[in-house]
């Protein structure tokens, strides 16, 4: 048992430490300026609300297209809401959000987000057996709150523009479908800068990388790879594949693929606990085979050099 004097000293020290902690938290909290919900709402073009903890949110319910999931009509409130949330942060604000997209809206929304300086952090599904198919694009950004809200508006305006042209989502990207034929494997290899494997009518390139999984080195044979598969003919081909990327490479690859007219159809993770953490981007493109190969090469180059263009 401690002497009474030592007990009193510990009590006083604890009280003063707690007081200093609360004072510091209060000072840090007051140092972050409150966000102007009205200004954010005006910039986003929709009403904004503020939560008790200072987060400002804007939203847009996708009631413009009827969606069924597993045979049941889905009310927009059950998961068809686009939103963005803003939180005060050093340098202005931090923004995170999610945009509901139909398939023909993905590329326009992605292009608008990248043009507006936002980061695209995921593109994936939230449902299965949904008609029409619904995707979700997650976005983020940091800076002036009103400017970020204006960027979100650009994304949502791009989506609205697609629906203004056609109320019903399209059944394809458009353009000529790949034509059965032969592909010049040597020409594609020269454009990609890698040696392919020939699997019937498919010319496939696989570029592995290595991560540590639970202390074990894992590479291409375990699915840690970037790949591109070409089908069709030299004049009318398709390409599909994956990019395996670290977080710092994602935005460069997105920009390079879209500048080449190649569609990004998913962005998500495949693993948990790997080091470094990797993200996987899935893509689809149609057109002359060499043009597609140059587009893929440009994205590979952007991934390596940290530049958005080849």
pLDDT of residue 308: 56
- Whether 111 is covered by a domain: the verdict is yes
93 & 147 share domain: yes
For the chain, the distance separating the N- and C-terminal CA atoms, rounded to the nearest angstrom, is 72
Instruction: For residues 274 and 134, give the distance between their C-alpha atoms in angstroms, rounded to a whole number.
Output: 29
Domain that holds residue 242: 185-305
151 & 264 share domain: no
193 & 292 share domain: yes
Task: Single out the residue in 134, 165, 196 at which a domain terminates.
Answer: 165
Task: Single out the residue in 133, 165, 197 at which a domain terminates.
Answer: 165
Residue 143's CB is within 10 A of a number of other CB atoms, namely 16
List the CATH number of the domain containing 279.
3.30.1360
HSE of 18, CA atoms in CB hemisphere, 13 A? 6
pLDDT of residue 260: 98
161 & 189 share domain: no
Q: In a structure prediction context, what are the per-residue pLDDT tens digits for the chain, which is 310 residues long?
A: 444 444 443 344 333 443 444 444 444 444 568 999 999 999 999 999 999 999 999 999 999 999 999 999 999 999 999 999 999 999 999 999 999 999 999 999 999 999 999 999 999 999 999 999 999 999 999 999 999 999 999 999 999 999 999 999 999 999 888 999 999 999 999 999 999 999 999 999 999 999 999 989 999 999 999 999 999 999 999 999 999 999 999 999 999 999 999 999 999 999 999 999 999 999 999 999 999 999 999 999 999 998 654 3
Q: H or E stretch including 99?
A: strand 92-102
- Whether 13 is covered by a domain: the verdict is no
Q: H or E stretch including 158?
A: helix 145-165
- Whether 200 is covered by a domain: the verdict is yes
148 & 200 share domain: no
- Whether 275 is covered by a domain: the verdict is yes
* Tally of domains within the chain: 2
41 & 158 share domain: yes
- Whether 267 is covered by a domain: the verdict is yes
Angle at 171 between CA 165 and CA 174, to 5 degrees: 75
Q: What is the pTM of this model?
A: 0.87
154 & 205 share domain: no
Exposed/middle/buried for residue 258 (C-beta within 10 Å: 0-12, 13-18, 19+): buried
pLDDT of residue 52: 95
110 & 196 share domain: no
pLDDT of residue 5: 46
- Whether 178 is covered by a domain: the verdict is no
CB < 8 Å & 24+ apart, contacts of 81-86: 82/156, 82/159, 83/57, 83/58, 83/59, 84/44, 84/57, 84/58, 84/59, 84/139, 84/148, 84/149, 84/152, 85/55, 85/56, 85/57, 86/35, 86/40, 86/55, 86/56, 86/57, 86/145, 86/148, 86/149
Exposed/middle/buried for residue 22 (C-beta within 10 Å: 0-12, 13-18, 19+): exposed
148 & 247 share domain: no
Contact indicator for 113, 138 with CB cutoff of 8 Å: no
pLDDT of residue 235: 96
161 & 200 share domain: no
The encoded tokens of residue 259 equal 């500048």
- Whether 130 is covered by a domain: the verdict is yes
Task: Single out the residue in 100, 132, 165 at which a domain terminates.
Answer: 165
pLDDT of residue 309: 47
pLDDT of residue 4: 45
Question: DSSP 3-state assignment of 121?
Answer: strand
List the CATH number of the domain containing 104.
3.30.70
pLDDT of residue 33: 80
- Whether 108 is covered by a domain: the verdict is yes
213 & 282 share domain: yes
Instruction: For residues 185 and 202, give the distance between their C-alpha atoms in angstroms, rounded to a whole number.
Output: 9
57 & 153 share domain: yes
């Amino acid at each position: 048992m401690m002497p009474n004097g030592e007990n009193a000293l510990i009590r006083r020290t604890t009280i003063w430490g707690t007081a200093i902690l609360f004072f510091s938290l209060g000072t840090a909290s007051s140092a972050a300026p409150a966000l102007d919900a009205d200004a954010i709402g005006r910039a986003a073009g929709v009403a904004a609300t503020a939560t008790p903890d200072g987060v400002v949110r804007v939203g847009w319910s996708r009631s413009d297209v009827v969606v069924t999931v597993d045979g049941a009509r889905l009310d927009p409130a059950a998961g068809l809401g686009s939103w963005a949330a803003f939180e005060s942060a050093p340098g202005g604000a931090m923004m995170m959000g999610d945009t509901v997209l139909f398939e023909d809206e993905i590329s326009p929304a992605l292009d608008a987000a990248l043009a507006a300086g936002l980061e695209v952090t995921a593109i994936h599904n939230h449902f299965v057996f949904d008609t029409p198919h619904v995707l979700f694009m997650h976005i983020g950004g940091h800076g002036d709150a009103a400017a970020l809200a204006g960027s979100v508006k650009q994304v949502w305006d791009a989506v609205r523009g697609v629906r203004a042209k056609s109320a019903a989502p399209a059944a394809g990207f458009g353009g000529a479908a790949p034509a059965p034929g032969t592909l010049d494997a040597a020409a594609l290899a020269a454009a990609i800068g890698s040696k392919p494997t020939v699997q019937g009518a498919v010319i496939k390139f696989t570029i592995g990388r290595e991560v540590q999984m639970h202390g074990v080195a894992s590479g291409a044979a375990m699915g840690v790879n970037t790949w591109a598969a070409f089908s069709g003919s030299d004049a009318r081909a398709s390409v599909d594949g994956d990019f395996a990327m670290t977080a710092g490479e994602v935005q460069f690859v997105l920009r390079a693929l879209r500048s080449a007219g190649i569609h990004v159809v998913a962005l998500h993770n495949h693993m948990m606990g790997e080091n470094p953490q990797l993200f996987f981007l899935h893509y689809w493109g149609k057109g002359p085979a060499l043009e597609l190969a140059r587009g893929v090469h440009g994205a590979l180059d952007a991934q390596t050099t940290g530049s958005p263009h080849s």
